[in-house]
Structure 1
Amino acid sequence: MLKNAVFAIICLLLFSCGKDAAPKPMGDLRLEYPNSGYKEFSSACPYSFEYSGFAKVEEGKQPCWYYITYPKMKAKVFLTYFPIKNDFDLHVKEAEKMVYEHTIKASSIKTKSFSYPVNKVYGNLYELKGQSASNIQFYATDSAKHFVTANLYFNTRPKPDSLAPAVDYIKKDILHMLDTFKWKN
């Protein structure tokens, strides 16, 4: 009996010694971005729109080309402008070519057409899923004189799960940009 009691005490000592239980931290990453607080963009170019106060607008390589930069997200929306000179179809094909060049890495491409007849703004918005270098692209036109394209890029390797909150934030800003987009003439 004494043998059994000693054996039981030794077993208790061996199995009871361990680390104290500690609560595990939450595994979900929570990213919070500030409210956009939109500002109006207007220049000598034939278009205007509202953009996020969280972003900066910088001049691009050509007249009426701009970068809408999100420095804290390492993201840029490349905005390009082309006047239409009997080459409307060429501009549409080129914009779609830019989108579909990403089919190698994109797991899906969701296309949404938009139309704002009051402002004479028409076009397509493309949302690219998967490990695509560009997550959102669009073109906007009045179908007669003006054509604008935009592409969202991040200065990092494409990681869809990690970038999803930033892409959703910028997508909301792009949709607001399209809602407020206007041609000047």
Structure 2
Amino acid sequence: MIKKVSFVFASALLISCGKEATPKPFGELRLEYPAPKYQKMDKNCNYSFEYSDFANLSDAKRPCWYYLNYPKMKAKVFISYYPINNNFADQVAEAEKMVYRHTVKASSIDTKSFEYPERKVYGNFYELKGQTAANIQFYATDSTKHFVTAYLYFNSRPKPDSLAPAVDYVKKDLMHLLDTFEWKN
């Protein structure tokens, strides 16, 4: 009997000896999004553009202000329109102020200027890196009559690594939006 117990104990000791167990790191869900198909936003405003069918467009607080909602990402692009009435410099300063408010949390702010002279569309595109509330911001203008700003927000804590796939997807959509952006008058 003692031999059997000794054998079972020795067997258990040998079987249990092996690699030391280590905890696995916390993992995030891998997110993949569909290839975008674009549709035209052509409402009764002074501008139009194309946006992804993965998003839906809804009215915001004022005429020609919109939310471009990405419900599966819990993301929202807030688009606002301002007429220019001898206040072009003030509009640009306000848009840039909104960007640079994030310098406290941003690890970097990449600025890209764009211009489409054939459509009279000019502006800046800002990509904010780090734990910022808004990951992408831009403004577009014709510099005489019209001024549009847009800000990308997620309804979650700012976790740059986790949000990176969604930010990249929306960034491509917003670049397409700007490539197709037009003033109506």
TM-score band (shorter)? 0.7 to 0.9
Alignment correspondent of 1:41: 41
Alignment of 1:1-80 (within 5 A): 14-17=13-16, 29-80=29-80
Task: Output the CA distance in 1 between the equivalents of 2:64 and 2:125.
Answer: 20
CA deviations over 1:59-99 (Å, ceiling 9, x no partner): 01011100000001010000000000110000000000000
Where 1:91 maps in the other structure, the secondary structure is helix
Alignment of 1:147-158 (within 5 A): 147-158=147-158
- TM-score when scaled to structure 2? 0.88
One-letter identity of the residue aligned with 2:68: I
Give how far 1:9 is off: 10
Q: How many residues align?
A: 174
Question: What stretches of structure 1 move > 6 A for 4+ residues in a row?
Answer: 7-10
One-letter identity of the residue aligned with 2:171: K
Give how far 1:172 is off: 0.3
Alignment correspondent of 2:168: 168
Runs of at least 5 residues in structure 1 that lack an aligned partner in the other structure:
1-6
Alignment correspondent of 2:94: 94
Task: Output the CA distance in 2 between the equivalents of 1:98 and 1:44.
Answer: 27
Task: Output the CA distance in 1 between the equivalents of 2:12 and 2:131.
Answer: 53
Alignment correspondent of 1:138: 138
**Matched residues, percent identical?**
67
Give how far 1:118 is off: 1.1
Asked if the contact 2:28/2:162 (under 8 Å) is kept, the reply is no
* Structure 1 residues 17 and 111, CA gap change in structure 2 (3 angstroms): same
Where 1:73 maps in the other structure, the secondary structure is coil
CA deviations over 1:27-55 (Å, ceiling 9, x no partner): 68531101110000011100000000000
Runs of at least 5 residues in structure 2 that lack an aligned partner in the other structure:
1-5, 19-23
**CA root-mean-square deviation:** 2.1
Where 2:151 maps in the other structure, the secondary structure is strand
One-letter identity of the residue aligned with 1:16: I
CA deviations over 1:136-161 (Å, ceiling 9, x no partner): 00000001100000000001111101
Where 1:95 maps in the other structure, the secondary structure is helix
Where 1:72 maps in the other structure, the secondary structure is coil
Alignment correspondent of 2:177: 177
* Structure 1 residues 9 and 77, CA gap change in structure 2 (3 angstroms): closer
- TM-score when scaled to structure 1? 0.88
